[in-house]
Amino acid sequence: MHKVNPIQRIVVKVGTNVMTNKDKRIIPRTLEKLVSQIAYLYEHNVLLVLVSSGSVIAGKEVMGRDLKTDDHVTRRQVFSAVGQPRLMRQYYNLFHAHGMRCAQVLATKRDFDPGKHRENMINCYEGLLAEGVIPIANEDDAVSLSMSTFTDNDELASLVAELINADMLVMLTDTDGLFNGHPDNPASQLISELSVDEPVEQYIQASTKGEAEGRGGMASKLRIAKRTANLGIPTIIANGKRDRVLLDAVYGKQVGTKILAPALQKGKGELC
């Protein structure tokens, strides 16, 4: 069929609750399914940046939760520093199985400031994408100052999408999207598409399931999604544990909640 607005670049953010089970342990099979979808897209000429949470959880699995310090910032630094290489080893092995390469790109909020820091980030991402390497981005928790940290990885994903002029941002969480009530209530309905100027914030409290381990809840996701959509980048909030969710999002099937700028509400960001 005729392709309308072909997607060539996307940013995918995967949250901690997507990759963990009820005991807050990382599920290798979930990461494997995600990487398989990324590999398929790569073979079909879609460039992708993966923004991945999970380093803190990975660190907790190694260290246990009882550290000598009770300082919240220090604990996060330790868990993240220990967990980053463990998480990257999993991604490296999964991409290697598909004959692909990946790279870790850690950043602080300062790296997105206009000027040399931002230019350096652009050069890094463009260089990796040009070489067919999948950048895996995360906040550099080990060195980030508390007053200049990202709100959460949703914000980082939005900034990366803007940085590389992405055609789409996909935010994978543990719910099917934004509902007009609690997701577990059968009477609640999924809001499949909305414009950035639609006042749907009143649904947030009712639709939140709670994301205890991650920093970003649905309120944050909606705020970041509207910001990104306002830049002309269609944004989808969807369930990362659903089969083929990433492929469905990219190829225009109904999945999750899509947020669009008003001028883009007629099919922008889909492959037909």
Residue 150's CATH number: 3.40.1160.10
- The answer to whether position 14 is within a domain reads yes
- The answer to whether position 179 is within a domain reads yes
Q: Considering its fold, how many domains does the chain have in total?
A: 1
pTM: 0.88
pLDDT digits (tens, 9 = 90+) for 247-268: 999 999 999 999 998 765 554 4
Q: Is the pLDDT of residue 224 over 70?
A: yes
- The answer to whether position 184 is within a domain reads yes
Q: Which long-range contacts (CB under 8 A, 24 or more apart) does 2-5 make?
A: 2/272, 3/271, 3/272, 4/267, 4/270, 4/271, 4/272, 5/167, 5/267, 5/268, 5/269, 5/270, 5/271
Residue 212 has what DSSP assignment?
S
Residue 186 — pLDDT band, cuts 50, 70, 90? confident
Give the percent of the chain with pLDDT over 70. 85
Pair 207, 181: CB distance under 8 Å? yes
- The answer to whether position 78 is within a domain reads yes
- The answer to whether position 269 is within a domain reads no
- The answer to whether position 272 is within a domain reads no
Please give the residue range of the domain that contains residue 182. 9-264
Which of 55-69, 147-161, 232-246 ranks highest by mean pLDDT?
Answer: 232-246
If you average pLDDT over residues 119-124, what whole number do you get? 95
The C-alpha angle with vertex 96 and arms to 91 and 99, in degrees rounded to 5, equals: 140
- The answer to whether position 23 is within a domain reads yes
pLDDT digits (tens, 9 = 90+) for 55-84: 999 999 999 888 898 888 888 889 989 999
Q: So what's the pLDDT on residue 271?
A: 45
For residue 242 the two structure tokens come to 């659903």
If you average pLDDT over residues 134-151, what whole number do you get? 77
- The answer to whether position 139 is within a domain reads yes
